[in-house]
Structure 1
Amino acid sequence: MKARKTLFAAVALALFSTLAHAEQVQVAVAANFTEPMKKIAEQFEKDTGNQAVLTFGATGKFYAQITNGAPFEVFLAADDATPAKLESEKAAVEGSRFTYAIGKLVLWSAKPGYVDAKGQVLARGDFKHLSIASPKAAPYGAAAMQTLDKLGLTQKVESRIVTGENITQAYQFIATENAELGFVALSQVTEDGKLVSGSAWQVPAEYYSPIRQDAQILAKGRDNPAAKALVDYLKGEKAAAIIRSYGYTL
């Protein structure tokens, strides 16, 4: 009985110690990484006791918010240029920046069979609305425009382009069939390598600049142990497995 009480006390002490040191970290996350990051944050909390409080949005808008004093401590961008700029401006911890994922662009429709395997639906032009994320605020939007330029279709379809504030809104326009098709992140429409719904064409990587997505600890997270813990966790195998399952490469 005494041994059992001692064991119980030891377990309780260890649990109390973990909870006592648990911290929160405020995280700005590029909209394309919404679903993977939700899963990573859940697993991170289970494994470390720390809580990642997530806010999702467009990388360009996050840059403006961060430079204007927003309380974010870790930033997961949809590109590598914005984190590099924040680091050069001393708004991020120097040396904390790394590439956590490389994104892929896909032309997608919520309608099965609508988008063909080679994306020729774009050239046919028998659609009223083509949804993309804002090219100025979202790297996936810029990649969409690069793809249209590469195909020589920009002028043909530009009057039919509807622009979402970020990649999530661009996806919603298509999912609700307010747009017949559009460019989104592969991670939004696949899981475990399979298309979740609708029809899609994965855009060849050479059609657009590589979407290297960098993460970093921001200046406001410099002294927060949970910020470093999250960044370290993102580099680990558990996070990597989740990231790969959504179609990203590392």
Structure 2
Amino acid sequence: MSQPPKILPAAALALAAVLAPLGVQADEVAVAVAANFTAPMQEIARLFEQDTGHKARLSFGATGKFYAQIANGAPFGILLAADDTTPEKIGREGLGDAATRFTYAIGQLVLWSKQPGYVDPEGQVLRKSDWRHLAMANPRLAPYGLAAMQTLEKLGLAEQVKGRVVQGENIGQTYQFAASGNAELGFVALSQVTERGQLREGSAWVVPAAMHQPIRQDAIVLKPGQGNPAAGALMQYLRGPKARAVIQSYGYSF
């Protein structure tokens, strides 16, 4: 006479139900992504899942707001910031693993208009008076906004255009102001208006890098992501050839 199983089928099913979510959690990481990096990260996340089986759950927004959420216990596993100072601060404050921090991209600022021929190759349009609104991200929250302000100061135009500036909470909202036509001009990220190195529409002035501080964008593993296999795999993947090819195709350097 055969012996009964040591674990009854119902008990085995219950055990599997308990263990299954743990397996899913181990293979998934929540990633806070700077708004300027939306398009390339969506592409990278798809490739990452195809190649590794791990999943990156993406949230997009302003780096400054992400820092506030992380400091208040938001369960992000990785931060892909729009600057290098926020990840450095996170590591210093023990909110993340400082040893994992690295520069995944260097961003490029552009002055862009949806209208073809509106922005000249030197950005002299800023000195004209026939436009009403200039969109830029909040320089206190978004590194691209800070770079835009530094550019205006370098040009000696910060006070002159002050009354016509419309601030977005992040670079994503800033792009929407310009793309909708509510602002004739906008300081946005090159990645938002180009595809495979070509301007998708409108006209643009690529701001020389010397006009603002380098927009070094750093990644760091946060406390909730420490020990998560998906977090480690994604940080490694971002350094790999497939991810780097995508990043470069959107106008970033390293």
Partners of 2:26 and 2:76 lie apart in 1 by 18
5 Å matches for 1:34-183? 34-183=38-187
The Cα of 1:94 is off from its aligned counterpart by: 2.6
The Cα of 1:217 is off from its aligned counterpart by: 0.5
TM-score under structure 1 normalisation?
0.91
The Cα of 1:20 is off from its aligned counterpart by: 7.8
Greater than 2 Å deviation, 4+ residue runs:
19-22
Partners of 1:167 and 1:151 lie apart in 2 by 21
1:218 maps onto 2:227 in alignment: no
Amino acid paired to 2:129: G
Partners of 2:194 and 2:29 lie apart in 1 by 28
Partners of 1:130 and 1:21 lie apart in 2 by 43
Report if aligned partners of 2:26, 2:228 keep a CA contact under 8 Å in 1. no
SS in 2 for 1:43: helix
SS in 1 for 2:213: coil
The Cα of 1:126 is off from its aligned counterpart by: 1.6
Match of 2:213 among 195, 209, 212: 209
Identity %, equivalent residues: 63
Amino acid paired to 2:124: Q
Partners of 1:82 and 1:125 lie apart in 2 by 37
Task: Give unmatched runs, 5+ long, in structure 1.
Answer: 1-18
Match of 2:237 in 1: 233
Partners of 2:114 and 2:173 lie apart in 1 by 14
Report if aligned partners of 1:22, 1:51 keep a CA contact under 8 Å in 2. no
The Cα of 1:192 is off from its aligned counterpart by: 1.2
Task: Give unmatched runs, 5+ long, in structure 2.
Answer: 1-22
Give the aligned CA root-mean-square deviation in angstroms.
1.2
The Cα of 1:223 is off from its aligned counterpart by: 1.6
The Cα of 1:21 is off from its aligned counterpart by: 9.6
- How many equivalent residue pairs? 232
Rg larger in structure = 2
Partners of 1:223 and 1:249 lie apart in 2 by 29
1:191 maps onto 2:220 in alignment: no
Partners of 1:20 and 1:139 lie apart in 2 by 34
Partners of 2:235 and 2:35 lie apart in 1 by 18
